[in-house]
Chains A and B, each alone.
Chain A
Amino acid sequence: MTAPGSEAAVTPRHEAAVTGSAPHREYLDRLAAGSVPFQTCDGCLTAVFPPRVICPACGATELRWSESSGLGTVYSTSVIAPRDADPYPVVLVDLDEGFRMMSTVVETPAADVPIGMRVRAHVEQDGPSGPRVVCTAAEAAEGEDAS
């Protein structure tokens, strides 16, 4: 039992849960700060995305936030051509750290985004609904295995 007046007693549990580790809030804050965030499981080292409170590989509840290098490979792509706007690609990108996300590729014509293309993900702060991760074609040198 915590003594009255101690630190734990003045911070209600529910408040700690919401302000301390709400995964989506943490994600948005990190995105706004310019990082491409994901989590890593302390138990099995699996890269976890989207953010959550339990590891989908092993069930551990200790997940550590990490920042992606942004380097990745287009896993699949579809071009959407609205009647009243420019076509744009919707892609699935495999980040080199071992997680996959939906994104788009900017600064390259939609039709010129093949599967297997090396890309660099970064944060577009003024996306249509706030900050989002977008990709650009990676320079040949950075696309190669640097290790």
Chain B
Amino acid sequence: MSPRDLRGAAAIVGVAESDLGEVGQDRYAIELAAQAAGTALAEAGLTTRDVDGLFCAIAGRGMAPLDVGEYLGVRPRYTDGTMVGGSSFVSHLHHAALAIAAGACDVALIVYGSTARSDSGRGRLAMGPPELPSYEAAYRPRPPITGYALATARHMHQYGTTRAQLAEVAVAARQWARLNPKAFARDPLTVEDVLAARMVSSPLSTLDCCLVTDGGGAVVVTSAARAADLPRPPVYLLGAGEAHWHRAISQMPDLTVTAATESSARAYAMAGLGPEDVDMVQLYDAFTINTILFLEDLGFCKKGEGGDFVSGGRIAPGGELPVNTNGGGLSYCHPGMYGIFPLIEATRQIRGEAGERQRPGVSVAVAHGNGGQLSSQVTAILGGRDTL
């Protein structure tokens, strides 16, 4: 089987979020995951009894698939707990398509939950065993913000990107969030507000940083053949690609070029499509610089031109290229690992179910996941029936 054989072989047939925002201290990550799973399966016309492939990652839980399997009563014959930070779920979609194509499972449930916001009111999670010694900790960076700040400073230095251009990313995200009733931050926001916000790790201010919320999500995937018999219009996986080059920010070779250059090239090659064929983009925007870097690395503009590209409302409602139409990690929801939400939003937009923020005629959407400190990059290209 070649990557091209995977094009259109699997489809998303159900998506859902759990309760989002701040759910309260007596609720747990797995409950949110399970709530989202139940809703997504119901939308797909399936139940937990149909699930035979389980894909999940939860920060701080080394055996999350076992926890979730027990909680849901799912006894999978294929399990994938790949944990590459916030990009995990886009990676899970790729792996699920491969597993389904190989006959290793038939109905894959990708599921995530986190109470990152409510956790701040209870004891910290116990630390796990040491990985490698840190060669960064002695300098007291604020992870992960400082990693992204260092990339931002370098991008500004090399290409003349400005803080006002970064602020445009936050403002566009907020304008989309104002159209999404589920978004956490919906107050009006201006470039001036972002520029005036307290600096956290220069050149990033509090408003250049994503939210910290609670939230869960679920995505149900099956074969294209089976999807045809299910109630919702299938959203096909047309292309997927993965890449990672480093973990620690000090080991990132060029802080202005991410492994998304490779992950997106692989995804485009599988889909037989290029950025010019893409109607909208759902990117992992943990920080304002992410959107700029990924628009460049996914080929929507040249390297170094991302700041200019996002200016003047081009990625905001009414702009040429809709980006993060749910409001993104900056204004909609960011429970520590955001990567399942780009899949959910891209699916809804392709189905034409995004309400007030719906863009007409979306047939191809990109969902891109990022993990670590610009470390892991996973790109998925999704399309409706007309793209097969």
On A, residues with C-beta under 8 Å from B are 24, 49-50, 75-81, 88, 90-92, 100-104, 115-116, 127-130, 132
Contact = CB atoms under 8 A, between A and B. Distances in A.
A128 B154 CA distance: 27
B138 A80 contact: no
A78 B201 contact: yes
28 contacts: A24-B133, A49-B135, A76-B153, A76-B154, A77-B150, A78-B146, A78-B150, A78-B202, A78-B203, A79-B202, A80-B140, A80-B141, A80-B142, A90-B139, A90-B201, A91-B139, A92-B150, A92-B249, A92-B250, A92-B255, A101-B250, A102-B136, A102-B139, A102-B141, A102-B249, A103-B139, A129-B138, A132-B138
Nearest to A129: B138
B201 A80 contact: yes
Q: Which of the listed residues B135, B199, B201, B255 has the most CB atoms from chain A within 10 Å of its own CB?
A: B135
Nearest to B198: A81
Contacts of A129: 137-138
Which 6 residue pairs of A and B lie closest in terms of their CB atoms, listed nearest first?
A78-B149, A132-B138, A76-B150, A50-B135, A76-B154, A102-B250
B153 A77 contact: yes
A88 B149 CA distance: 14
Interface in B118-140: 132-133, 135-140
B151 interface: yes
Contacts, number: 74
A50 B248 CA distance: 10
Contacts of B202: 78-81
Given A50-B135, A92-B255, A115-B153, 4 more contacts: A50-B133, A78-B204, A100-B251, A102-B135
A79 B138 contact: no
Interface in B131-168: 132-133, 135-142, 146, 149-151, 153-154, 157
B209 to A, nearest CB: 13
Nearest to A124: B138
A100 to B, nearest CB: 6
B154 A115 contact: yes
Nearest to B250: A102
Contacts of B199: 79, 81
Interface string B81-123: 0000000000000000000000000000000000000000000
Given A50-B135, A90-B141, A102-B136, A78 B153 contact: yes
Q: Which of the listed residues A49, A76, A115, A127 has the most CB atoms from chain B within 10 Å of its own CB?
A: A76
B150 A90 contact: yes
Nearest to A56: B251
Contact of B146 (A24, A80, A101, A115): A80
A116 B248 CA distance: 21
A129 B151 CA distance: 26
Contacts of A24: 132-133
Nearest to B138: A132
Nearest to B148: A78
Given A76-B151, A76-B154, A80-B146, A90 B140 contact: yes
Nearest to A51: B135
A117 to B, nearest CB: 11
A3 to B, nearest CB: 38
Nearest to A132: B138
A100 B153 CA distance: 16
A49 to B, nearest CB: 8
